[in-house]
A and B are shown apart, each in its own frame.
Chain A
């Protein structure tokens, strides 16, 4: 087992070296190919050639859409947990804030009867998630470690319970007829709808690319250095003159905003929001996804987020010896996590990156003049 693992590890490190060693244009071409692959993926003409990869028990486009939502969430949570080292157990709460903002302001079932278009509510949902992140962070981020975990856990439960019992949030009845994003095909039919998940997937994919670019720039700046120093040793960071509270709040708030964005997208796609979509389990799965992929690593978060949802969903409609495997999906997911934590606690994408990244950055500085 170990030898196989070591071979895999050696192979990956070699791949990493080759990637970093490759000329710029090669990297760009490869990156473009990977992105093109993911844009093409939901088309049947394309994925029918991919053997057992597409899910059997559910619409593959829908699965891809949810995977992309999970990737977005994992990328956001990775800022909080991975970069700043803050244990946030209630991240899904911000997702819920985004989704409910859309629901309340756009759905005809809402008491408000504003029925605004989706696009108008998008920035409002993101802003409200950000504000709730700041409000939650202000009193708690001065505390260390466990307190934050407990408070965030409480926050997510509070949101869920409010959604269940507060009359205007309509509990299980929920909000229907949430509008879709704007846009029409040439023949006048709307681009975004309930039946075809692909446009939504493409939209989220595009947003992921933008968000990742933004996060990557942040992490390579003074902000990123501050986050990593806080993660590694908060006292020392403070002694080096890092305003730790400010940067923790910043990490928390930007994570929350990304979570809210995911919620806004989800609400539009599902067309319907009720209290069933915000179980605590989701927060845990996202956290597991970040750790699975490799905490503190953007690529790791992407891989982890996509994989977490895929692993769980792949079991749908799969039978083995007459047993419906989907019933046991969380057991398999848990097993995967345990095995990972034993053999590869640092996550799928190794964290040796930072030293190399630094080298890389130096090189780029020189090359880029």
Chain B
């Protein structure tokens, strides 16, 4: 075990969290690194401001090669996850900014990080336990209730490719199957306790600035709405605004029933809202179901993603069942809907491509009992669950026609249900540096219906206010890519930047926070250059895995099928958007960063690394 100072050069080039993590990922891996092998580094990285007063600064990133989106079960792809809660700040108070975990243990272990010290402990007694039990046991054993834990559940242990980390009741580092990377290392958990001071450049002014900004935020209506109903609010807004995914609306004949998943339906179960450390918003419900079949269900959420994933996408409109399944996935340490594999399986069964011989039971839309059993079966790799636990590689064990039900963006599977009607959302998903990721660069505010003047004031140029329009949308995606890269590198929450509101904090506020904490006075162009560097390193990584070119930024066939008669026009328009998008990044016409760009960003060395 070795400890080193984070070099100042890394800080200046990448700030922290996602930025430094990506630099490390690029230098510590190559195209042959097996994501489930010992050489895949599991990198935990705090933002430069994580744990300090700021805008949702409870957040940090976990990065490694993803075992879910590579071209074969043994090859990786870029993997990254931004997570909140309390464990990141605790790590800061323990004196660490980044952890790089390499190798593989022969027995289950967990890490105990406390004030400048790291210890590896036996975790045999924790292996097999769910994420909630694991955290409780570690806390009890530490004798300190304030110990914070991030861990994997049975899904990660069993190398399920949709496994995530969980901290607290629901904060998940998901989306890249990183829980299985930990499982392969037999790393059950990281427990952290820190009581060290963190010094900042201007403490008094920082506290004053923080309270003034918090007060400003708390007076804004979007903050109040998010703090009252959380992300489930999106269910209704997406329906009435026509910018949602088809699944949200409820399938034909069951539209009224789907109203059962509206945000307001959660209120009877809500015990109040909770938050990541230091966040003014409090965007998630603490819930308790008191009566009925799911009586005693107590946890956090469900978020919008779970309402769709465990609900609408499975035609399960029973909000109590969705809430229960949300907690079940969190306990198992697995993405809701097993990352889409449940809907995929039911679709195959209903279409007659697979039958009871394969699945062992009928799979029906909306059958909450089967959904529950299948969720468990995937996490424990039982029966047909073992096939689905392989994520997209399940296709190797399914009839060839099953391929028609999935599309791929840079190696990540996507379904018809994911088709969206918002141009900027589609472009952001196609170009995202994390394959097919819906959040990497989503210009959230595009769907607020802002007038052209307000968009111009924000972006400094014309952007079509119509969500289906094309003009300015490439710029919009590029602009948000950069903003979010900085937001992540600082350890701030996306919800507290220009995502839900044009009035949310952004560059100016970040500049001031940076000045007060580090004493650095970085201009906005300088911050954008750092963001551009981070995004370009990610593009190089994609290139290393064969998915970082124009051909990889195009719509999958199944989306074009949904687009129907508009497909031809969309295709042509998206090609134009890509031209503009590459120019903004100073990449070539094929979407590859040019030598001049790499030179300007000071990352020529990374481009020449093996396999890139």
Answer yes or no: do A and B interact. no
Which residues from chain A sit less than 8 Å from chain B, CB to CB? none
